[in-house]
Amino acid sequence: MATERSLGALLRSLQSPSDLQDAFTLLPTATGLLYTLANPLNLSLLSSQLLAAPAIWDHAVDLHACRKILSVFNTAAIAFVQNETSDDPRIPYVKPQKIEREAWVKAVVSGADDKSPRWRHVLLIGGLLLGFEGQNRQGLSWNVRKKLEMALVTAAQLALEELDADNEIEGLCVTMVLNYSFELLSDYERTMINYDRLLPVLMHGVYSTSEGLEGGYFLGTVDKDIVEAPGKRFQWPEHSITFARITAISSSPLISALGPLSRLISHAIENVRDPGLVARSVDHLADFVRTLMVQWRQNKLSEVDRAEEAEFLDADSLKNTIPSLWKLLRNCLYSVVIVLRAVLGRVLNDHVLAANRSAPYLSMQSLHILRNLYFVSSRIGPNASSQHMFVTLTAVDILAQYPDLTENFLKSIKPNELGQIPAHPLERCLDLYFLNTAELFTPVLSSKFSEDLLICAAVPYLPAGGNNHLLEIFEAAHSVVLAVFAIPNNASVAATHLPFYIQNLFAVFPDNLSIRQFRLAFKTVLQVTAPPSPIANQQPLLPSILLEVLYDRAHHASDKVLPQPSSTPSLDMERPPPPLSEQAALTLSLVDGLCFLRVEDLEEWLPLTASLINVIPDPEMRAACVERFWEALSSGEMDVDRAHYCVTWWSTKGGRELVLFGPEAAASEQADSQGAYMSGAVGGVAPESKL
């Protein structure tokens, strides 16, 4: 009787108009009654009232309210299982009377009736499915679970068909429940979902609504609470309204589960029947990230370079508020990348998208989207995510099949002012994206385009290695210039710009360029100028001239140890490379280039290289150069003709002695190896012979 009286009081309270928060205080009572009532009619009545009660639904409810209702049925299902299996004698009053689990489920589901709209039914059915089967509980028989899955999909389908355009909470509710329960649905039930209706609802709900990412506008609102703190530093107070808003977005029902929700969107993209929906989804993403970048540009935080944050940002903000913002932005990046991964996968496998030439345009849009998010991805490294790499490389591969569109794309993202380094960090970040992306397209670009756009964009950054703000762009500029030089069709471009590049290379080393980078750059230049490069046909002496410059620089270089980077890439991870001087580094660069010389040039440069090694005063550095020299001769870097000459030089022309013991020992050995000779041939003098 007490249970029936409690039920009656609860139903009267649910029917009475009241404040929404007061109505929420009734939900624990409703949860307790759901798993203690034994009468199926009472269970159905209570369930029906929870989905239609004026005290709850006669208000502007949000997803938090919907999640509370979902939690009621979820918690009741969990408690029903626990109480049914509990043997604790201390709580006999909690145990429900005898009612079978299948009957209980049927009675509760019967509450999803015509008194409430379809979109609320998914809260009830989804809550039960999560309560019985979530976290691998396996609380239902196979037959009952199949019925519950079918009921959830049917309710979601009907809800999607009846969505009210003026009440966006309906689509958001369906999105939330499907996101929570999708992994519990069988493959068959997943195929029964109408993804053509679901995909637009998902995209709009996640990226455009106030319950989602607000179309990217949340980022611009932060600016009004960025104030100047003592010491002329920017501060974003932890008690500010905008920080509370960022925290609320991160903890909202959709964004707190953004990873699984992004995978649900990807699944929908892979299964939509209308290919046009794929293109519209990409348009939706493009609008979102464009707004996000514009909002960041208008934010005071974007004026601070990453290398200057400790100097210009308040310490408390760097510790408390700003990391929360970057975490949300990273989640946005990962979500977009997951969706683009599905888009490009669909492009690769959908003959309809390929037939109507949508593929290059979708690839182009994908690259624009990644560009607008580069202010986020550049902080964590684009190569840190395999999915990010897949999206980038796949889009590049598809677009590279259309050279004209490729050049149009690169023109659309080129720096605003070629030949100048922009002052704003965001503009420099976009320049970095341009250089890194353009490098991937160099094989399909015309020589004139590469010279007019890529070389011009890279030139201002080539001597900028000493500036910590520009270090990444400096390396990217060198990479893109070397990539242009390495293309056989760009021989004339390389011949024109090589003198300037070499001059710049020596100007920035060793102060602003690491040993590894210098060796790689110089080796690439030698490879570009050596046979079978077209430049070698026009200027066959160019490799020797470059080595002459390097040789002369090494002879006059300092023998003091250069500062070593904190982590130097090495093939031998167990033994770090020894400290090197500028002289030793230049010598190693000379050794690296031997494999590109013609045999007749090796005859000159092998002895010169060996003598240069012996000029190095430090024994450890000299030993490192000797080891690299032997590796260059014996490890297979050279072809058969070059290797044959090197073996001959090493074994019979004094090479071994010259490298290991110096010029004097080599000269002595050379004299001793001239063969047998006779001295004296006059009057009875005994002949001497020496073998």
Helix/strand/coil (H/E/C) assignment for every residue in 422-450: CCCHHHHHHHHHHHHHHHHHHHHCCHHHH
Q: Is the pLDDT score of 666 beyond 90?
A: no
What are the two backbone dihedrals, phi and then psi, of residue 299, each rounded to the nearest 5 degrees? Answer: -95, 140
pLDDT at position 664 is 62
Q: Is residue 150 part of a domain?
A: yes
Q: Is residue 555 part of a domain?
A: yes
Mode of pairing for the β-strands spanning 233-235 and 227-229: antiparallel
Q: Is the pLDDT score of 544 beyond 90?
A: no
Q: Is the pLDDT score of 691 beyond 50?
A: no
Q: What is the mean pLDDT of residues 493-509?
A: 88
Q: What is the DSSP letter of 581?
A: B
pLDDT at position 688 is 40
The half-sphere exposure of 168 on its side-chain side, counting CA atoms within 13 A, is 12
SS3 235: strand
Mean pLDDT for the chain overall: 87
- Percentage, residues of the chain above pLDDT 70: 91
Q: Which of 11-15, 180-184, 644-648 has the lowest mean pLDDT?
A: 11-15
Q: Is the pLDDT score of 191 beyond 90?
A: yes
- Chain position carrying tokens 């345009």: 361
Write out pLDDT tens, residues 488-500.
888 889 888 988 9
Q: How confident is the model at residue 673 (pLDDT cuts 50, 70, 90)?
A: low
Asked if 331 and 255 touch (Cβ cutoff 8 Å), the reply is yes
Residue 109 tokens read as 């589901």
Q: How confident is the model at residue 96 (pLDDT cuts 50, 70, 90)?
A: very low
SS3 229: strand
pLDDT at position 41 is 92
pLDDT at position 576 is 63
Alpha helices (runs of H) in 487-514, residue ranges in sequence order: 491-508
Q: What is the DSSP letter of 100?
A: -
Q: What is the mean pLDDT of residues 642-665?
A: 83
Q: Name the more confident of 367 and 233.
A: 367
Residue 299 tokens read as 């934010």
d(CA 29, CA 353): 54
What are the contacts of 294-300 at 24+ separation with CB within 8 A? 294/220, 295/216, 295/217, 295/218, 295/219, 295/220, 296/219, 296/375, 296/426, 297/424, 297/426, 298/220, 298/223, 299/219, 299/220, 299/222, 299/223, 299/226, 300/223, 300/226, 300/234
pTM assigned to the model: 0.87
Sign of torsion over alpha carbons 130, 136, 139, 142: positive
Domain that holds residue 658: 514-559+580-666
**Measured CA distances, 443 to 80, 368, 440, 447, 533 (Å):** 65, 20, 8, 10, 15
Asked if 530 and 562 touch (Cβ cutoff 8 Å), the reply is no
Q: How confident is the model at residue 23 (pLDDT cuts 50, 70, 90)?
A: confident
Residue 556 tokens read as 């006059």
pLDDT at position 668 is 56
Alpha helices (runs of H) in 134-254, residue ranges in sequence order: 142-161, 169-181, 187-191, 195-207, 218-221, 241-250
Sign of torsion over alpha carbons 215, 280, 334, 71: positive
SS3 538: helix
Residue 651 CB contacts under 8 Å (≥ 6 apart), including other chains: none
pLDDT at position 207 is 96
Write out pLDDT tens, residues 230-280.
878 899 999 999 999 999 999 999 999 999 999 999 999 999 999 999 999
d(CA 29, CA 220): 43
Which residue among 193, 226, 245 closes a domain?
193
Q: Name the more confident of 349 and 288.
A: 288
465, with CB counted inside 10 A (0-12, 13-18, 19+), is buried
Which residue among 193, 224, 251 closes a domain?
193
d(CA 204, CA 606): 68
Q: Is residue 148 part of a domain?
A: yes
Write out pLDDT tens, residues 462-480.
887 667 678 889 889 999 9
Asked if 6 and 93 touch (Cβ cutoff 8 Å), the reply is no
Write out pLDDT tens, residues 314-337.
889 999 999 999 999 999 999 999
Which residue among 146, 171, 193 closes a domain?
193
Q: Is residue 528 part of a domain?
A: yes
pLDDT at position 635 is 85
Q: Is residue 66 part of a domain?
A: yes
Q: Is residue 686 part of a domain?
A: no
- Terminal C-alpha separation, the chain: 123
Q: Name the domain count of the chain.
A: 2
Q: Is residue 346 part of a domain?
A: no
Asked if 585 and 562 touch (Cβ cutoff 8 Å), the reply is yes
Q: How confident is the model at residue 109 (pLDDT cuts 50, 70, 90)?
A: very high
pLDDT at position 624 is 92
Write out pLDDT tens, residues 527-541.
888 888 888 887 788
Asked if 340 and 279 touch (Cβ cutoff 8 Å), the reply is no
Q: Is the pLDDT score of 378 beyond 60?
A: yes
Q: Is residue 624 part of a domain?
A: yes
Residue 290 tokens read as 């464009």
